[in-house]
Amino acid sequence: MSNIDLNRIPRHVAIIMDGNGRWAKERGMARVQGHKAGMESLREIVRHSSELGVQYLTVYAFSTENWKRPEDEVSGIFKLVVIYVKSEIRELSANNVKVNVIGDWSRLPADSKDAIQYAIDTTAANTGLQFNIALNYGGRAEILRAARLLAEDIASGRVSAEDASEDMISDRLYTAGMPDPELIIRTGGEQRLSNFLTWQSAYSELVVTPVYWPDFSPEEYDKAIAEYQSRDRRFGGIKA
């Protein structure tokens, strides 16, 4: 933490946890072993986020496009969701972390849905870090869902079309009531958002690291925050 200003920690950090498969391939392992190794990194980053005073941490765990992956990899990821909840729920609760899931997780296997609901219910009263897990999530699908909800309200007369605003879209997103992420970190070196927080990322600072997610340590996290703190955020204006 020596290189970061603890008084300027971003309130909301989002992470695209990429590189699990490549990490495993380079070691001659099955891809699901990379996802398992990534679970260890997730544990450390959630813990470190809480220690730093981050208020919201959103991680991209499974996208709407990830269903295209091999069936054994997809089923392995969902099994890891169950394992993660069972192994981490006690520490999450002890650290006052509140678990939330964004995305349409109704399509997940029953045991995964049960584990998620258990985590949400068990941590519902916690007031510390809000840990958002994006599961079966896509940014465009989220915007479409919000637009449909707003259209229903307009059709019913609850909202007039003339009054429709950006805030009304924001209020119908999965992240309603949360600040937009100030910092989005992508591990693994790819330089794209991959349909992640499409609406919310309009003015997010993007930090890309070549480090694969299983090797992403609290020290690497601090480097990304230090990079964020070095940026001049003008939001379309100019510095006085």
Within 10 A of 78 (CB to CB), how many other CB atoms are there? Answer: 17
Q: Is 34 exposed, middle or buried (0-12, 13-18, 19+ CB in 10 A)?
A: buried
Q: Given the residues 66, 95, 126, 195, select the one marked as catalytic.
A: 66
Residue 222 main-chain phi, psi, to 5 deg: -60, -40
Are the C-beta atoms of residues 55 and 128 closer than 8 Å to each other?
no
Name every residue whose Cβ is closer than 8 Å to that of residue 101 and which is 6 or more positions away in sequence: 116, 120, 132, 133, 134, 135
Residue 183 main-chain phi, psi, to 5 deg: -130, 130
Name every residue whose Cβ is closer than 8 Å to that of residue 237 and which is 6 or more positions away in sequence: none
Q: Given the residues 3, 5, 18, 222, select the one marked as catalytic.
A: 18
Q: Residue 62 forms beta bridges with which residues? A: 135
Could you confirm whether 121 is annotated as catalytic? no
Are the C-beta atoms of residues 138 and 127 closer than 8 Å to each other?
no
Could you confirm whether 18 is annotated as catalytic? yes
Calculate the CA 88 to chain-centre distance.
Answer: 17
Are the C-beta atoms of residues 138 and 63 closer than 8 Å to each other?
yes
What residues are labeled active site?
Answer: 18, 66
